[in-house]
Amino acid sequence: MYPSDLKYTKEHEWIRIEGEQAHVGITDYAQKQLGDVVYLELPDVGRMVKKGDVFGTIESVKAVSELYSPVSGEVTEVNTRLAEKPEAVNTDPHGSWMIVVKVGDSGETSDLLDATQYGELTK
């Protein structure tokens, strides 16, 4: 059920790496845990994030959760349209990217999970 072209983290983010560009969002499992998403706080373009850093905040009706970057690099794009309609995270989690990170060190993606491993983790 998890798209095989994405990689995943134990913190329930997904990442799609294409060359130097990495789109980042949260997984279907994460959106189900959160419930109805009502607010999304994203960083400014140009911000440098380190792997494991908090890059934003997501809020549902009942809870606040932090968003962790799966990789290090510069934030080159921010999905401001998603921030205006954050409920899309519930309806299309794997299509709702939040930021694009320009990936530096490719070695640090080696511990990301593939779809099968992530599926096992969230069973």
Please report how close the Cβ of residue 4 comes to another protein at its closest, in angstroms: 27
Cβ at position 44, least distance to another protein in Å = 14
d(CA 62, CA 24): 23
CB 90 to another protein: min, Å: 8
91 binds another protein (CB under 8 A): no
60 in Cβ contact with 35 (< 8 Å)? yes
**With binding defined as CB under 8 A, does residue 80 bind another protein?**
no
Question: Which of these ranges, 8-16, 58-66, 67-75, 96-104, lies near another protein under the rule CB under 8 A?
Answer: 58-66
Do 4 and 115 touch, CB atoms closer than 8 A? yes
